[in-house]
Amino acid sequence: MIAALRAILARDLTLAFRVGGGGGIGVVFFLAVVTIVPFAVGPELPLLARIGPAVLWIGALLASLLGLDRIFAADHEDGNLDLLLMAPVPLELIAAMKGAAHWITTGLPLVVAAPLLGLLLGLEPKALAAVTATLLVGTPALTFLGLIGAALAVALPRGGLLVAVLVLPLTIPILIFGVAATTAAVTGLVPFGTPFRLLAALSLVGLVLGPVAAAAAIRVIRD
């Protein structure tokens, strides 16, 4: 079973690197979102430094929604989902592996890019570190809750935008605690640990709930 799960992870990573459209596009989209903000609010550095963490979080949130709809739909279209369902492995674990592969190829590049993009917004080193840490802990929650939308996309051909609309409300608590932790680190009014731990808890809940809900959704909707 371990060999089967490893094979799924390795295959999805290989596909993401060969086909493209995964992490690279996500980071470019993230860059685009972050760079247009100064055009909208004006190039005032203190203001940008203040709203910077929130901008980075919103950018990462939107970028993490890209490509979500293809996680299961691509396998459904070419018949690979049937193959996965015939494997002697629970569908929940398969979904978890596919989520992990998606996070490595789209979530992790966003975390790596965040400090560089933070420099564009004039963030202090402390804020840069806090944003990167919160994204590292928070992006798995985004991906794994997104798995639920990804599973629904199996029944919705060309449902990419719909998946984003469905998943976005679920991510609001993650956004709140991610930005709150970063603000706490910068201002020092509230201890950083409190919202950060809640963010970590959300990620852990997502890690369990996402694959289970996605597997249940696939079982119900595929026909």
Query: Can you give the binding site for other proteins, defined by CB under 8 A?
Result: 3-4, 6-8, 11, 14-15, 18-19, 77-80, 82-89, 222-223
Centroid of chain to Cα 109? 10
* Residue among 43 and 223 whose Cβ is closer to other proteins: 223
Shortest Å distance, C-beta 85 to other proteins? 6
Q: Could you tell me the smallest distance in angstroms from the CB atom of residue 82 to other proteins?
A: 6
**C-alpha triplet 38, 42, 48: angle, nearest 5°:** 60
AA letter at 105: T
What is the Cα–Cα distance from 182 to 43, expressed in whole angstroms?
A: 22
Q: Which of residues 89 and 213 has its CB atom nearest to other proteins in the complex?
A: 89
H helices of 20-158, in order, are: 23-41, 45-65, 70-77, 80-85, 91-102, 108-120, 125-152
Min. distance of Cβ 212 from other proteins in angstroms? Answer: 19
Q: How far is the CB of 154 from other proteins (least distance, A)?
A: 13
Contact indicator for 139, 111 with CB cutoff of 8 Å:
yes
The CB-of-219 to other proteins minimum distance in angstroms stands at: 9
Closest CB to other proteins among residues 189, 223: 223
Closest by CA to 19, choosing from 75, 59, 87, 79, is 75
Q: How far apart are CA 223 and CA 220, in angstroms?
A: 8
Report the 10 Å Cβ neighbour count for 88. Answer: 6
Identity of the residue, 16 or 179, whose beta carbon is nearer to other proteins in the bound complex: 16
Residue 3 or 189 having the CB closest to other proteins = 3
C-beta closer to other proteins: residue 197 or 222: 222
CB of 18 to other proteins, least distance (A): 4
